[in-house]
Amino acid sequence: MELKLEKLKSFEGRKGPLLFIVMDGVGFGRQDESDAVFLAKTPTLDKLLKEIPLQTKLKAHGPAVGLPSEDDMGNSEVGHNAIGAGRIFAQGAKLVNKSIETGDIFKSENWGKVIEHGKNGNTVHLMGLLSDGNVHSHINQVFALINECAKKEVTKLRLHILLDGRDVGEKTAPEYVTPLEELLAKISSEKKYDYKIASGGGRMITTMDRYNADWTIVERGWKAHVLGDARKFRSASEAIQTYYSEDPKITDQYLESFVVVDENEIPIGTIEDGDAVVFFNFRGDRAIEMSIAFEAGDEFDKFDRQRVPKVFYTGMMEYDGDLHIPKNYLVNPPSIDRPISQYLCAEGVTSFAISETQKFGHVTYFWNGNRSGYINDKLELYVEIPSDKIQFDKAPRMKADEITDRTIELLKSGKYKFGRINYPNGDMVGHCGIMEAAIESVEAVDQNLAKILPVIEELGGIAVITADHGNADEMFNVVKGKRVVKTAHTLNPVPFIIYDPACNGEYKMAGINTPGLTNIAGTLLNLLGYKNVEDYDPSLIVF
C-alpha cells in the first residue's frame, strides 16, 4: 500500500531538526537509596523535570508494550518495537505462550521434524536462557517442550542452559536448575528415558553475544555445547555451587562455561550428526550469532568451529526476518507493518540513527519493526559506535560522549530533519548491579544532555527525551531486612519530555490516561508537522 502523511494546518514543525533521545534504563524509581537515577547528580534532567510543562510519564512494561501481564518487565527490544510501531503488537513471550496453550507450536512442521529426529534414535538438544525473566525466555516454556518430547516418546534429550542473573536475581541459578534436574530425573526414572543437562554457563560469557560485539562468547558456547570442551562437572548443580564457593562475589551471568561428564570424565551431551537442536529463546538479539554458527557453511570465519554437526536446527522464533535467521523456527514473530520510519521515508524526510554497538540494533532493526538494513539509504544514515569489550561497570560512561559528538556533528550539518539516539548506560551498567557504577552511568547521560540541548536551541529544533524501560532506578530490594541486588529491568514508568525552546503555546500535552511508549510515534509525527497516522495510538500532544 502507498504510505502518505498529511500536513498539519496549525503547526508545520520547527525550522531546526527533531531529535529523539532514549536514555536506556532510566525510569522513575522510589527516589530512595535504591534508586541510582535519584542518587545521581543530574542537573540537566532535574531542571527539565522541574521547569518543562511539556512532559508526562509513560508505561514501558506489560500489556502496554505487548507483553502478557503487568508483572512482565519491558525491555529494549519490545520498547523500541513499540515506539517505532506506534501501536501495540503481541510480543515474543505472549506469542509463544499462546502457541503453547493452543498446541499450535506442537502441530508445526518444524516441531514435527524435531520429534522425528528424536524418535529415530538421535538426541534432541534444547538450548537457551534458563530463568523466568520473560525477556529472552521462560522456564515454563522449556518445561512444556521437555514434557512434549517425553509425551512423543523421544528417548534421549539434552539441555544446554545459559544462566541468567540479569533479568532475575543475580545469584538465583539454583532456583531454576534444581527443578529442571528434578523434572529430567523424574521423566528418566518413570519412562526409562535419558534426559539430562549437558552443558551451560553464564549468559554474558557463554553463547549469548549480540550485534557481533564479541564472538569469543559464542565460541565458548560452541565448545561447551557442541564439542564438550569446557570445565567438567558431574552435574549442573555441582558446577554452580563450585563456582559460588570459589568466588563468593561472582554472579550467575558471569559463571564460566561447563560440561557435565560421566564417571569416566566423558561429556554426556555433545551435539552430533543427526541430532535436533532447538534454541528456545524467543527474543532474537542474543540468539542470532549461535544460529549463524550452526547454519553457516564454509564461509563462516568468526572462529574455528573444529567440526560442524549436521543437525536439524530451529529457533523458538525467527530472530531476523530479513536475513531469515534461523532458517527454521517454531512460532511466527510479530508482524509489525508500517513503522514510523516507513512513513517518514515515503515523505522524503531525512533522518539518522546513532548508538553504540550494544543498542545499535534497537535504533535500527527493532525501531523499524524487526527489519534489517535501511528503509531508504538515500534518506537515512545509521551510525554504529563500537562498544568496548569489557564489563560495563568498569567504564560506566560507555560511549555516551562519542554518541553525543557524532550527533552534534550531524545536527549541525543541516542535512537531517529527524534523528534518534540511544544512550545505553542506565541499562547496560544497571544490569551489573553495582550502585556506584550505575550512578556514574546516569550522570554521564545527563552530562551529554547538557551538551546536546544547547545545540537544539541554537538550531531552532526540538528534542524529545524518554526511555524504553527502567533499570538503574531500582538497584536493590529489601527482603526480610536484607538488601538483595536487583540487576533486572523495572516496572517503573519512564519520563517523556519535549524540549522545545521556541514553543509559545501552539500545543500542549493531551492528558491521555495511562500513556505508553506506543503514543510516541504519533507525537513525533505531530512535532514534525504531520497529522498522526489514523490507526496509530493517539499523540501525546494536542493543538
Burial of 182 (0-12, 13-18, 19+ CB in 10 A): exposed
Q: Are 462 and 529 in contact (CB under 8 A)?
A: no
Q: Does residue 76 carry a catalytic annotation?
A: yes
Q: What are the grid coordinates assigned to 413, written together?
A: 550539518
Dihedral-angle region of residue 257 (phi above 0 means left; psi in -120 to 50 means alpha; beta otherwise): beta
CB atoms within 10 A of CB 542: 12
What is the residue-averaged pLDDT of the chain? 96
Task: Give whole-number Cα distances, 99 to 32, 106, 327, in Å.
Answer: 41, 8, 19
Per residue in 71-123, pLDDT (tens digit) is 888 999 999 999 999 999 988 888 999 999 999 999 999 999 999 999 999 99
Q: What domains, with CATH codes, occur in the chain?
A: 19-91+335-542 (3.40.720.10), 93-331 (3.40.1450.10)
Percent of the chain with pLDDT over 70: 100
Q: Give, in degrees to the nearest 5, the angle at Cα 67 between 64 and 70.
A: 70
How does pLDDT run across 217-237, given as a tens digit for each residue?
999 999 999 999 999 999 999
Query: In the beta sheet, which residues pair with residue 497?
Result: 55, 465
Q: Please state whether the peptide bond connecting residue 326 to the residue before it is cis, i.e. omega within 30 degrees of 0.
A: yes
Q: Which of 10, 34, 69, 76 is catalytic?
A: 76
Label residue 306 left, alpha or beta by phi (over 0 means left) and psi (-120 to 50 means alpha): left
Average pLDDT over residues 227-251: 98
**pLDDT at residue number 321:** 67
CA 317, chain centre distance (Å): 14
Instruction: State pTM to two decimals.
Output: 0.80
**Secondary structure (DSSP) of 477-527:** EEETTEEEE--S-----EEEEEE-TT-SSS-EE---SS-BGGGHHHHHHHH
- At residue 333, the pLDDT reads 76
Residues 256-289: tens digit of each pLDDT: 999 999 999 999 999 999 999 999 999 888 999 9
Neighbours of 93 (CB within 10 A): 24
Q: What is the structure's pLDDT at 322?
A: 60
pLDDT digits (tens, 9 = 90+) for 477-521: 998 898 989 988 999 999 999 999 999 999 999 999 999 999 999
Q: What is the mean pLDDT of residues 368-377?
A: 94
Site of grid cell 532474537: 284
Of the candidates 227, 154, 226, which has an alpha carbon nearest to the alpha carbon of residue 184?
154
Q: Which of 494, 445, 497 is nearest to 474 (CA)?
A: 494
C-alpha of 172 from chain center: 20
**pLDDT for 174-188, tens place per residue?**
999 999 999 999 999
Asked, as a colleague might, if the bond just before 454 is cis with ω within 30 of 0, I would say: no
So what's the pLDDT on residue 213? 87
